[in-house]
C-alpha cells in the first residue's frame, strides 16, 4: 500500500490473480488454509495498523451539546471521549439505553431479546478494567443471526427458536474484545429475507421515524438493528447484507451503514442466507462510528478462509476523519464520483434530494463528478433471473431442515424450494456471468471513476463490492432519504472519506426521530394488532 493513499488504487493486478487461483484451489478442496498476503504496488504491506487501532486519537470526538444532555444521543466517538475523560461510565450509558428500551421498545419492537442482566454485568466489569479503546463500554445491538455464546440465536425463524450457540460469531467476539457490550439481539426478517416480521409474516419492527405506522418500510432485513440505533436504544449495531440488508434499513432510518467487501469481515458464526453474498457490517450514526465498528470487526479469521490473505485493513478511522485546509473541508483523497444516467432525474423528493446531494458534493474540493454509463447488459446481469443464481446457496445448507419440517420455514419457504430446483448447469452459468459483470463494472464504470452512486445495492452485492449508505435528505413528511456509494474492492477507506467530508458540511446525519407518542410508551404492541402481514408470495418476491 502506498502510504497516505486509499487502498483501492494501490493493489497489484498480478497479486490478485495469483490469489484468486489459490483461493479457488482452497475452496475446491474444502480446506481452511492460510493464503499468502497480497503484495501491493508499493511492495510488501506494512499493515499500517496501530498496535491498538481502536485507541486511535481520531476515534474520539468532543460531544455536541445536545449529546451531553442525553447519553443515548452520543455517537460512539463522543461516548468514547466522555468515558476516556472519566465523565461518563459504561454503567450510566447502559442504564440510559435500558431506560429507553423499557419505555419505547414495546412500540418499536426492535429487540428479540434484551440482555439486561448481562449488559449491566458487562458494564460493571468494563468500569473496573483498563480501557481498551473507543469501544470500551459501548452498548451495541446485534442482529439475531450472529452467534452469541450461551444466548439464544434464532435468525427469527422457527427453525432456530431454541438454538443456543456454544461460541460467539467472530465479528461479535471482536467487538467484545474491543470492549463493546452486547445489549441485545435484534429483530430481523425471518432468516434474513425481508423486513422484520414474525416467522409467519406478521410485521413486527417499525421504522423509528414512523412508529405508529407499521406500513412505513423500516428496511430489511437488518431491521431491528436499524430501529434500535435510530431510536436511540443502542449506540450502534451490526447487521448482515445479502441483497441490501444493511444499506436499505440504513437509508430508511437515517443511518450510515457500511457493507464491506466480501471477506473483509469474517462471516464465521453467522447463520447463512447465501454464503457467497452474506456480508457482515455496521449500522451506525455517522461515518466515524461506521469506521470504528469496522475497525473492530475486520481482519483475517482462520474460521473463514475468504477473510485471509486479503490486503491489510487500512486506517479506517483516519479515513473517516474530515480533512480541513484553510478552515474548509476537502476530500482526503481526490475522488471521481461516478453518476449513472437518471440517478437524479425527475422532480420527486428523492430526485430533488439527489440533485442537492450532488451539488453539495461537487462543492467539496477534491470531488469530481463524472457521468458514467451503466455497463452493457446491466439490467439483465443484475436483474431477477441472474440474482436468483444465489438461491441454491440457501437450500444446500438447509437440506436437513427441508427434509424434515417445511412448515418451520414459515412464510419464507418458497425461495428455499426454488434453490433446490436449480440445476448445477444454471448455477455455473450464473457464476460465469458474475465474472462478466465484474469485468464490465471494472472496465466501463471504474475506468472513469473511483466511487459510484447506486440506485440499487444488489449489483454490488452480487460482486461482493463495498457500499456505504448514508442520509442526504428528508421527505415532506420528514422521513429520511438516503443514498448509496459503491467502490472498488477494499475501498472502504475511500468510501468513508467521502461520506465523512459530506457529513462535515451537512447535518442530515444528525437528525433524530421524535419519541413515540406518550400514550403508546411502555405498552407492548401485540404482533397481530392491526399489523400488516406479508404472504409467502410477497416474501418470494421481496426476499434478499
Partner 1 sequence: MAPTPPTDAELNTLIRARLAALGIDLDQLPPGTAPDPQTGSPGRDAVLASLRSFVRGTVATLAAYQLPTPGVTDPDVARALSQQRVPVLYPSISAQGRTS
3-state secondary structure of 436: helix
**Which DSSP state fits 374?**
P
Rg, Å, the chain Cα set: 22
Active site residue 221: yes
Scanning residues 185 to 214, which ones bind partner 1 (CB under 8 A)?
198-202
Strand order in the sheet with 181-186: 111-114, 181-186, 139-143, 236-241, 279-284, 256-259, 467-474, 480-487, 451-454, 335-339, 367-371
Please, which residue, 211 or 280, has the CB nearer to partner 1? 280
Q: What is the dihedral of CA 365, 366, 370, 375, to 10 degrees?
A: -140
Q: By CB under 8 A, is residue 442 in contact with partner 1?
A: yes
Angle (deg, nearest 10), helices 492-505 and 349-362: 100
Contact 241, 222 (CB under 8 A): yes
Residue 404 phi, psi (nearest 5):
-110, -25
Contact 108, 205 (CB under 8 A): yes
Site string for partner 1, 298-337 (x = CB under 8 A): --------x---x---------------------------
Burial 336-345 (b: 16+ CB within 10 A, else e): ebbbbeebbe
Q: By CB under 8 A, is residue 36 in contact with partner 1?
A: no
Of 433, 453, 479, 485, which one interacts with partner 1 (CB under 8 A)?
Answer: 433
Q: Is the dihedral of CA 497, 498, 501, 507 positive or negative?
A: negative
Q: Least distance from C-beta 193 to partner 1, angstroms?
A: 12
Q: Least distance from C-beta 366 to partner 1, angstroms?
A: 16
Scanning residues 78 to 97, which ones bind partner 1 (CB under 8 A)?
none
Q: Least distance from C-beta 76 to partner 1, angstroms?
A: 27
Active site residue 176: no
Residues 6 or more apart from 157 whose CB is under 8 A from it?
Answer: 190, 191, 199, 408, 409, 410, 412
Q: Least distance from C-beta 325 to partner 1, angstroms?
A: 22
Of 131, 434, 511, 512, which one interacts with partner 1 (CB under 8 A)?
Answer: 434
Please, which residue, 406 or 505, has the CB nearer to partner 1? 406
Please, which residue, 199 or 244, has the CB nearer to partner 1? 199
Q: By CB under 8 A, is residue 385 in contact with partner 1?
A: yes
- Altogether, the residues listed in the chain come to a count of 544
Q: By CB under 8 A, is residue 9 in contact with partner 1?
A: yes
Which range, of 73-81, 89-97, 288-296, 457-465, touches partner 1 by CB under 8 A? 457-465
Q: By CB under 8 A, is residue 10 in contact with partner 1?
A: yes
The per-residue DSSP string of 142-173 comes to EETTB-BTTB---TTSGGGTT---SS--HHHH
Q: By CB under 8 A, is residue 388 in contact with partner 1?
A: yes
Q: Least distance from C-beta 135 to partner 1, angstroms?
A: 27
The CB density around residue 514, as the number of other CB atoms within 10 Å, is 9
Distance CA 345, CA 358 (A): 12
Q: Least distance from C-beta 352 to partner 1, angstroms?
A: 33
Site string for partner 1, 389-418 (x = CB under 8 A): x---------x--xx-xxxxxxx-xx--xx
Q: Least distance from C-beta 2 to partner 1, angstroms?
A: 7
Of residues 157, 176, 185, 221, which has the active-site annotation?
A: 221
Please, which residue, 56 or 277, has the CB nearer to partner 1? 277
Distance CA 161, CA 182 (A): 20
Of 41, 121, 359, 505, which one interacts with partner 1 (CB under 8 A)?
Answer: 41
Q: Least distance from C-beta 24 to partner 1, angstroms?
A: 7
Q: By CB under 8 A, is residue 370 in contact with partner 1?
A: no
Distance CA 173, CA 178 (A): 9
Scanning residues 233 to 272, which ones bind partner 1 (CB under 8 A)?
261-263
Scanning residues 158 to 177, which ones bind partner 1 (CB under 8 A)?
158
Q: By CB under 8 A, is residue 463 in contact with partner 1?
A: yes
Distance CA 388, CA 540 (A): 11
Site string for partner 1, 123-152 (x = CB under 8 A): ------------------------------
Residues contacting partner 1: total by CB under 8 A: 79
Distance CA 259, CA 537 (A): 28
Scanning residues 332 to 361, which ones bind partner 1 (CB under 8 A)?
none
Of 127, 420, 448, 520, which one interacts with partner 1 (CB under 8 A)?
Answer: 420
Please, which residue, 128 or 403, has the CB nearer to partner 1? 403
Of residues 236, 245, 307, 415, which has the active-site annotation?
A: 245
Q: By CB under 8 A, is residue 423 in contact with partner 1?
A: yes
Q: Least distance from C-beta 186 to partner 1, angstroms?
A: 21
Among residues 182, 239, 311, the alpha carbon closest in space to that of 467 is found at 239
Please, which residue, 52 or 431, has the CB nearer to partner 1? 431
Distance CA 447, CA 445 (A): 6
Which range, of 108-116, 143-151, 362-370, 380-388, touches partner 1 by CB under 8 A? 380-388
Distance CA 258, CA 274 (A): 18
Distance CA 205, CA 207 (A): 7
Q: Least distance from C-beta 410 to partner 1, angstroms?
A: 5
Q: By CB under 8 A, is residue 16 in contact with partner 1?
A: yes
Catalytic site residues? 143, 221, 245
Amino acid at each position: 500500500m502506498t502510504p497516505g493513499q486509499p487502498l483501492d488504487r494501490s493493489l497489484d493486478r498480478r497479486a490478485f490473480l495469483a490469489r484468486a487461483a489459490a483461493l479457488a484451489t482452497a475452496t475446491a478442496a474444502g480446506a481452511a488454509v492460510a493464503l499468502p498476503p497480497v503484495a501491493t504496488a508499493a511492495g510488501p504491506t506494512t499493515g499500517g495498523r496501530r498496535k491498538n487501532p481502536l485507541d486511535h486519537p481520531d476515534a474520539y470526538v468532543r460531544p455536541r451539546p445536545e449529546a451531553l444532555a442525553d447519553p443515548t444521543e452520543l455517537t460512539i466517538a463522543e461516548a468514547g471521549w466522555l468515558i476516556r475523560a472519566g465523565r461518563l461510565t459504561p454503567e450510566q450509558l447502559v442504564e440510559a439505553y435500558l431506560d429507553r428500551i423499557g419505555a419505547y421498545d414495546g412500540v418499536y419492537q426492535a429487540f428479540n431479546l434484551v440482555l439486561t442482566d448481562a449488559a449491566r454485568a458487562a458494564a460493571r466489569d468494563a468500569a473496573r478494567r483498563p480501557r481498551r479503546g473507543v469501544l470500551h463500554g459501548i452498548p451495541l445491538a446485534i442482529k439475531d443471526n450472529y452467534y452469541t455464546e450461551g444466548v439464544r440465536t434464532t435468525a427469527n425463524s422457527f427453525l432456530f427458536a431454541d438454538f443456543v450457540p456454544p461460541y460467539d460469531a467472530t465479528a461479535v467476539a471482536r467487538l467484545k474484545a474491543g470492549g463493546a457490550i452486547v445489549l441485545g439481539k435484534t429483530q430481523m426478517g425471518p432468516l434474513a429475507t425481508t423486513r422484520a416480521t414474525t416467522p409467519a409474516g406478521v410485521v413486527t419492527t417499525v421504522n423509528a421515524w414512523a412508529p405508529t405506522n407499521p406500513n412505513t418500510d423500516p428496511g430489511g432485513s437488518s431491521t431491528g438493528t436499524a430501529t434500535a440505533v435510530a431510536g436511540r436504544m443502542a449506540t450502534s449495531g451490526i447487521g448482515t447484507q445479502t441483497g441490501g440488508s444493511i444499506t436499505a434499513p440504513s437509508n430508511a432510518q437515517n443511518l450510515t451503514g457500511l457493507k464491506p467487501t466480501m471477506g473483509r469481515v469474517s462471516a464465521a458464526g453467522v447463520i447463512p442466507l447465501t454464503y457467497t453474498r452474506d456480508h457482515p457490517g455496521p449500522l451506525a450514526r455517522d461515518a466515524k462510528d461506521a469506521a470504528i465498528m469496522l475497525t473492530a470487526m475486520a481482519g483475517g479469521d482462520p474460521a473463514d478462509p475468504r477473510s485471509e490473505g486479503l490486503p491489510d485493513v487500512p486506517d479506517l478511522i483516519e479515513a473517516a476523519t474530515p480533512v480541513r485546509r484553510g478552515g474548509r473541508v476537502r476530500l482526503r483523497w481526490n475522488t471521481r464520483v461516478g453518476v449513472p444516467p437518471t440517478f437524479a432525474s425527475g422532480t420527486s423528493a428523492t430526485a430533488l434530494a439527489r440533485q442537492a446531494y450532488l451539488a453539495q458534493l461537487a462543492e467539496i474540493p477534491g470531488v469530481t463528478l463524472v457521468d458514467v454509463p451503466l455497463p452493457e447488459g446491466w439490467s439483465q446481469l443484475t436483474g431477477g433471473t441472474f440474482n436468483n443464481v444465489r438461491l441454491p446457496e440457501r437450500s444446500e445448507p438447509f437440506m436437513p431442515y427441508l427434509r424434515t419440517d417445511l412448515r418451520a420455514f414459515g412464510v419464507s419457504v418458497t425461495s428455499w424450494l426454488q434453490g433446490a430446483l436449480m440445476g448445477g448447469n444454471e448455477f455455473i452459468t450464473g457464476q460465469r456471468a458474475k465474472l462478466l459483470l465484474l469485468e464490465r463494472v471494472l472496465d466501463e464504470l471504474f475506468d472513469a471513476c473511483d466511487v459510484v452512486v447506486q440506485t440499487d445495492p444488489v449489483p454490488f452485492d452480487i460482486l461482493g463490492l463495498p457500499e456505504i449508505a448514508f442520509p442526504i435528505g428528508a421527505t415532506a413528511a420528514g422521513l429520511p432519504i438516503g443514498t448509496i456509494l459503491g467502490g472498488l474492492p477494499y475501498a472502504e477507506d475511500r468510501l468513508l472519506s467521502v461520506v465523512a467530508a459530506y457529513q462535515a458540511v451537512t447535518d442530515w446525519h444528525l437528525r433524530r426521530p421524535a419519541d413515540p407518542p406518550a400514550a403508546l410508551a411502555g405498552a407492548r404492541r401485540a404482533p397481530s394488532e392491526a399489523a400488516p402481514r406479508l404472504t409467502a408470495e410477497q416474501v418470494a418476491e421481496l426476499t434478499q
